[in-house]
Amino acid sequence: MPTIDALAERLSSYLEPDQIKQVCRAYHYAKQAHEGQYRRSGDPYIVHPLAVANILSQMHMDPQSLMAAMLHDVIEDTAVPKEALVEQFGETVSELVDGVSKLTHIKFGSQEEKQAGNFQKMAMAMARDIRVIIVKLADR
C-alpha cells in the first residue's frame, strides 16, 4: 500500500521542499475529509487519491496537479465545498479539482451520446487546463 512518506521521498527528486509540504498538506486535508470512508477492498478511501498522486508523480507533474489528485474526490464525496478548497489551496487547485469532478458527473442515454459527450467534456477541460484531463486519466 502506498504511503505519503514514500510519495514525499519520490517527489524530493524533482520538487522543492515547500512544494512537497503543500502536497502533503493536501493529503492530510483529504485524509481528514474522507475519514470513515472505505474502498470496496476495505482499505481507507485515502489510498485511492494517494495512488492517483503516485501515478502523476511518475510523470513528474507539478505540485498543483498532485494536490488536485489528493483532493479530486473531496468536493463530490464529502461535505467540503469548493470554496473551502479555494481558501485552503488556492484558485488553481480548486479549479483542477472542480474540473475533474465535472468530468465525472454528466450522464448520457446512448453509447453514441456518451462517447460524444465524453469527447466534448474532455475538449472543454483541455481548453481550460490540460492538467484536468491528466488527473482524470490517472484516476481511472
- Is residue 112 part of the annotated active site? The answer reads no
Per-residue pLDDT, 115: 66
User: 9, 73, 76, 98: which is the annotated catalytic residue?
Assistant: 76
Q: Exposure pattern of 48-83 as b/e (b: 16+ CB <10 Å)?
A: bbbbbbbbbbeeebebbbbbbbbbbbbbeebebeee
Q: What is the pLDDT along the chain (140 residues), one digit of tens a residue?
A: 789 999 999 999 999 999 999 999 999 999 999 999 999 999 999 999 999 999 999 999 999 999 999 999 999 999 999 999 999 999 999 999 998 887 765 555 566 666 666 666 666 656 678 788 789 889 87
User: 43, 77, 98, 129: which is the annotated catalytic residue?
Assistant: 77
- Is residue 113 part of the annotated active site? The answer reads no
Domain boundaries, the chain: 4-139
Domain range 4-139, its CATH number among 3.50.50.60, 2.60.40.2890, 1.10.3210.10, 3.40.720.10: 1.10.3210.10
